[in-house]
Amino acid sequence: MRDTAVGSALSNWLEHGIVDMKFGVCYYPEHWPQTRWPQDARMMRELGLEIVRIAEFAWAKLEPTPGQYDWSWLDEAIGVLAAAGLEIILGTPTVTPPAWLTRAYPEILRVDANGRARDHGTRRHTCPNSPTYRQFSRQIVRAIGERYGSDPRISGWQIDNEFGGGGTARCYCENCAAAFRDWLQARYGTLAALNDAWGTIFWSQTYTDWAQIRPPSDHIDKKNPSHVLDYYRFASDSFVSYQQEQVDILRELAHGRFITTNFMGLYRDLDQFDMAETLDFATWDNYPTGNPERWRPLLYPPGADAKTNNPLYAYDVGDPMVTGLAHALTRGLKNAPFWIMEQQCGHINWAQFNPGIRPGTPRLWTWHAIAEGADTIVYFRWRATLFAQEQYHSGLLRHDATPDVGYHDHLTFQADRDLLDDLARQPITAPVGILFDFADLWALQLQPHRQDFGYLRLLYVYYTTLQRLGIPVNLVPKTADFTPYPLLIAPTTHLADAQLASKLNDYTQNGGTLLLGVRSGFKTTSNLVTDEPLPGALRKLVGATVTSWQALPPDVGWELETAVPHLHGPAGYWLETLNAQTASVLATYKPGGAAALTEHKVGNGRVLYLGFYPTNEQARALLLHLAGQLGLNWLPDLPEGLVAAQRGPYTILLNFTEQPISYPLNGQAVLVNSRDVAVIRR
Ligand code: GAL
Ligand code: ZN
C-alpha cells in the first residue's frame, strides 16, 4: 500500500527529473537602450546562464494606447536574447496596468480595509474582482499569447508577479463586496445556513437579505471571526480564479509550454496550495537577507532577538532555517522540484538593514536552494537599475555594467555542472510530513487567545527540530496524499470536520503515525467551536478527550512524568489535560496525574496527541522516540548554522557561520568552510 503511494509521490520528481540544472536571470530590456541588448545577451551566455525572464512589468510599453499593441521592441529583444542562445520565460504584465487604464476606470483600484483606494504609480494596485480589470487582463494575455504562444524561443510563462505582494491580497471595494456575496451564496445556499455558520445571533448580526452583507472592513471594531475567515478564503479564491483566467488562455495558446507564477515563501495571505494546483510547477522569490527579517518575528519565541539575526550566523547570509522552511513549503506545494524565480545575488533595498553581500554568499544561497529541491535558479536581476523604486537594489552587474559579487560567484558553478545536473535529477524523499493549512493559520491569527500564539511558530518548533537532526520534511496540505510519510505531524489542526477525520483515519489504518498537537479539532470549518468533547471531530481517532485547556503565563510550567527518554517538564505556554479512553498514556502531568501525551492504536498505525506546546528539547525527545520506533535515519546533532539536506544519494552540508565546522558523517570528519558547501555521496 505504502509502496504504491511512495511511487506516485516520486513520479512528480521523476517527471521533472529528466531536466538538467539550469540558471537564468531576470532582465528588463525596456530599461536599457536597444544597442546594449546584444552585449547583455552575450555576457549572460558567457556567464553560463540559459534562461532569461522578461516582460512581467511591461504592459504600458506593450499597449501604449488602448488596443494598440507595440510588439516591435519585444520582438527585437526576444530575437537578440534567443540568438545568443537563451531560453525565454515571458511574464504576463498584469501586475502593472498602464496609466490610461487606471485613469479611465478607477473602479479597478484596490481598496484597503479603511476604504482608501490605491493609486497609479506603483504595482499591484488593482482588484482581482473588478470585471473591468479582468477583461483588460484577459485581453492583454490573449494578445501576448497569440503573438508568442507558438514561438519556439519561448520556453514557458510566468503569470503576473507575486500575487498578493505588498499586503494586497485582500480588497474591500464594491466589486469585492458583490463577489463576496456570490461566493457566500454558493457556499451556504441560504441565509439561514450562513447565519448559523457565522453565529450571527450574537450581537444581533443576523442578516435578512444578502445585500446586507459586506466585507469585514476596519469600519467594524470587533469582527466576527467566522465572517473574517470566510473573507480571507474568499480573497484567496479570488486570486485563484483571477489566475485561472490567464491559465486558461495560455493553455489554449501556449502549446504545452509550462505555466507558473512566483510565490513568496512564507507569505500567508493567499492559500498557496490552491494557487499552485493549476500550475505546472511552483517557484518562489528568495531574498535571504530580507525575508527572514519579516518572518523571524512570526517564527521565533517572542523576545528581543526575534527581529534581528542569530549572531552565530554570518551577518550577510540571512537565516538558513527560515529560508529552508520557505524552500520546504514551496517544494511541498506540488511535492516536486521547484524553481527559484528570483534569487537574491547581492544586496537588496527593502529591508531594515541591507548588508553588502560578500563573495561566497550568493553561491551558498544557490547551493541551499538546489539542496532543498530547486532545479532552476533565476537571479534577480541582471543589472542594477538607474531609476525609480529599486535604485539601491543590486543585480549581477552593477549600475555601471561591471560584474558584481553575484556574477563572480556564479562563475564558480561552471566547474560543477556535471554534479549539478546529477543533483537536479535526484528526488527528495521526506519521511516526515508537516500538515500545513492556511485556514488553520488564519483562524488562529484571528483568535490566538494568547497574543503570541502563532500557527507558524508552533510549526517551526517541529521544523527546526527535524532540521537539526537532518531529517527531510515536507509541508503538506490537508488535501495531499499522506501515505508517503511514515510520520505525519499536525502541529495544530484547529479546524476539523468528519471528512478530515476519516482521511486521517485511513492514513493511520494503513500504518501511518500521526502526531496531533494542541488546539486540534477545537473548531468546525466555519470557525465555530465544536459542541462535541474536544478534540471534536478528531476525538475517536485520538481515543482521548481534552478535559481542560489553558494559556499559561510566562515562567509557569508543569512537571511531567513519562517513560519517553529525555522528555522532561516543565510543560508550559499552552497546556491541555487529557483523559484517555481507548488510548494509552505516555506522559502525565505532576501533580494531578492527568494525561499529557496519549497514544492510540488505529489499524496498523497510531495517533499520538501531545497535550502541551513543546519546547525544542521536548520536541526533540518525542521525535527521536518516534524516529527510533519507525526506523527513520537521522544525523548527529547539527551545530547551529550547519544545514544538512539530502537529495537522492547526496548529503549536502552548508555552513552559514563565520567559522569552519568539522562534522562527523559516515564515520569521517567532513570539514565545511565558512559560507561554503560540502557535497558527499553516500
Ligand atoms: C520582488 C519582486 C521584484 C523586485 C524584487 C526586489 O519581490 O518580484 O520585481 O521588486 O522583489 O527585491
Ligand atoms: Zn476589490
**Cell 530547486, located at residue:** 374
**CB count in 10 Å sphere of residue 401:** 16
Phi and psi at 388, nearest 5°, equal 70, -155
Q: Is 287 in the pocket of ligand 1 (CB under 6 A)?
A: yes
pLDDT in tens, 484-542: 999 999 999 999 999 999 999 999 999 999 999 999 999 999 999 999 999 999 999 99
Atom of ligand 1 nearest to the CA of 389: 10
The ligand whose atoms approach the alpha carbon of 168 most closely is 2
pTM for the model stands at: 0.97
Which band of pLDDT confidence, cut at 50, 70 and 90, is reported for residue 439? very high
Strand-strand pairing, 595-602 and 584-590: antiparallel
**pLDDT averaged over every residue in the chain:** 95
Q: Is 348 in the pocket of ligand 1 (CB under 6 A)?
A: yes
Residue 13 confidence (pLDDT) above 70: no
* Cα 82 from chain centroid (whole Å): 32
Which of 50, 56, 87, 162 is flagged as catalytic?
162
Q: Is 53 in the pocket of ligand 1 (CB under 6 A)?
A: no
Atom of ligand 1 nearest to the CA of 161: 8
Q: Rounded CA gap, 518 and 356, in Å? A: 42
3-state secondary structure of 77: helix
Residue 192 confidence (pLDDT) above 80: yes
What share of the chain in percent tops pLDDT 90?
Answer: 94
The ligand whose atoms approach the alpha carbon of 132 most closely is 2
| Residue whose CA is at the smallest distance from ligand 1 atom 9 | 161
Distance (Å) from CA 172 to ligand 2 centroid? 5
Average pLDDT for 569-592: 96
Residue 376 confidence (pLDDT) above 70: yes
Estimate the share of the chain in helix, then strand, then coil, as percent rounded to the nearest 5: 40, 20, 40
Residue 605 confidence (pLDDT) above 70: yes
Distance (Å) from CA 165 to ligand 2 centroid? 15
Its sign, for the CA torsion 646, 650, 656, 658, is: positive
Of 349, 389, 390, 394, best ligand 1 pocket probe by most atoms within 8 Å of the beta carbon: 390
Q: Rounded CA gap, 106 and 174, in Å? A: 12
Distance (Å) from CA 74 to ligand 2 centroid? 32
Q: Is 260 in the pocket of ligand 1 (CB under 6 A)?
A: no
pLDDT at 2: 30
Q: Rounded CA gap, 389 and 629, in Å? A: 55
- The rounded radius of gyration (Å) of the Cα atoms in the chain is 26
Distance (Å) from CA 87 to ligand 1 centroid? 21
Q: Rounded CA gap, 81 and 38, in Å? A: 7
Atom of ligand 1 nearest to the CA of 380: 5
Please state, in angstroms and as integers, the Cα–Cα distance from residue 244 to each residue in 138, 147, 239, 491, 612, following that order.
10, 20, 8, 31, 41
Q: Rounded CA gap, 682 and 679, in Å? A: 10
Residue 15 confidence (pLDDT) above 90: no
The ligand whose atoms approach the alpha carbon of 128 most closely is 2
pLDDT in tens, 225-250: 999 999 999 999 999 999 999 999 99
Lookup: cell for 441: 493559520
Q: Is 293 in the pocket of ligand 1 (CB under 6 A)?
A: no
Residue 664 confidence (pLDDT) above 70: yes
Atom of ligand 1 nearest to the CA of 162: 8
Least confident of 8-12, 28-32, 87-91, 660-664: 8-12
Residue 5 confidence (pLDDT) above 60: no
Q: Rounded CA gap, 17 and 373, in Å? A: 11
pLDDT in tens, 340-371: 999 999 999 999 999 999 999 999 999 999 99
pLDDT at 6: 39
Distance (Å) from CA 280 to ligand 2 centroid? 28
Which of 56, 87, 342, 599 is flagged as catalytic?
342
Residue 87 confidence (pLDDT) above 90: yes
Average pLDDT for 459-471: 98
Atom of ligand 1 nearest to the CA of 57: 9
pLDDT in tens, 21-59: 999 999 999 999 999 999 999 999 999 999 999 999 999
Distance (Å) from CA 133 to ligand 2 centroid? 10
pLDDT at 301: 86
Its sign, for the CA torsion 408, 416, 91, 97, is: negative
Instruction: Return the beta strands (E) in 448-604 as ranges.
Output: 473-476, 487-490, 513-516, 544-551, 557-562, 571-580, 584-590, 595-602
pLDDT at 7: 42
- What one-letter code names the amino acid at 491? P
Residue 132 confidence (pLDDT) above 50: yes
Q: Which residue stretches of 319-429 are H helix? A: 320-334, 361-371, 405-411, 417-424
Q: Is 559 a catalytic residue?
A: no
Atom of ligand 1 nearest to the CA of 165: 7
The ligand whose atoms approach the alpha carbon of 172 most closely is 2
Residue 650 confidence (pLDDT) above 50: yes
Residue 14 confidence (pLDDT) above 80: no
Residue 557 confidence (pLDDT) above 70: yes
Q: Is 161 in the pocket of ligand 1 (CB under 6 A)?
A: yes
pLDDT at 3: 36
Please state, in angstroms and as integers, the Cα–Cα distance from residue 475 to each residue in 153, 229, 239, 410, 464, following that order.
35, 22, 22, 30, 13
Residue 206 confidence (pLDDT) above 90: yes
pLDDT at 591: 84
Q: Is 271 in the pocket of ligand 1 (CB under 6 A)?
A: no
Please state, in angstroms and as integers, the Cα–Cα distance from residue 13 to each residue in 8, 17, 231, following that order.
9, 6, 35
Burial of 462 (0-12, 13-18, 19+ CB in 10 A): buried
Q: Is 525 in the pocket of ligand 1 (CB under 6 A)?
A: no
- What one-letter code names the amino acid at 625? H
The ligand whose atoms approach the alpha carbon of 164 most closely is 1
Number of H helices, E strands in the chain: 20, 25
Distance (Å) from CA 416 to ligand 1 centroid? 28
Atom of ligand 1 nearest to the CA of 287: 12
Average pLDDT for 146-171: 97
Of 53, 122, 162, best ligand 1 pocket probe by most atoms within 8 Å of the beta carbon: 162
**CB count in 10 Å sphere of residue 206:** 14
Q: Is 342 in the pocket of ligand 1 (CB under 6 A)?
A: yes
Distance (Å) from CA 637 to ligand 2 centroid? 49
Greater confidence (587 vs 305) lies with: 587
Q: Rounded CA gap, 642 and 661, in Å? A: 8
The ligand whose atoms approach the alpha carbon of 134 most closely is 2
Q: Do 93 and 28 meet the contact criterion of CB atoms below 8 Å apart?
A: no
pLDDT at 413: 94
Q: Please report how many Cα atoms fall inside a 13 Å half-sphere around the Cα of residue 107, on the Cβ side.
A: 12
**Cell 565546522, located at residue:** 661
Average pLDDT for 127-131: 98
3-state secondary structure of 526: coil
Least confident of 266-275, 309-318, 392-401, 429-438: 309-318
Q: Do 655 and 641 meet the contact criterion of CB atoms below 8 Å apart?
A: yes
Give the single-character DSSP code of 49: -
| Residue whose CA is at the smallest distance from ligand 1 atom 10 | 390
Residue 305 confidence (pLDDT) above 70: no
Average pLDDT for 405-411: 98
Distance (Å) from CA 116 to ligand 2 centroid? 11
Distance (Å) from CA 162 to ligand 1 centroid? 8
Average pLDDT for 164-168: 95
The closest of 638, 468, 443 to 528, measured between CA atoms, is 443
pLDDT at 464: 97
Angle between helices 320-334 and 455-468 (to 10 degrees): 100
Please state, in angstroms and as integers, the Cα–Cα distance from residue 587 to each residue in 37, 417, 579, 633, 658, following that order.
67, 51, 12, 25, 41
Q: Is 13 in the pocket of ligand 1 (CB under 6 A)?
A: no
Q: Is 56 in the pocket of ligand 1 (CB under 6 A)?
A: no
Lookup: cell for 272: 498557496
Residue 149 confidence (pLDDT) above 60: yes
Residue 304 confidence (pLDDT) above 60: no
Q: Rounded CA gap, 24 and 390, in Å? A: 20
Q: Is 96 in the pocket of ligand 1 (CB under 6 A)?
A: no
| Residue whose CA is at the smallest distance from ligand 1 atom 12 | 348
**CB count in 10 Å sphere of residue 121:** 9
- What's the start-to-end Cα distance of the chain, in Å? 28
Q: Rounded CA gap, 96 and 47, in Å? A: 30
Q: Is 107 a catalytic residue?
A: no
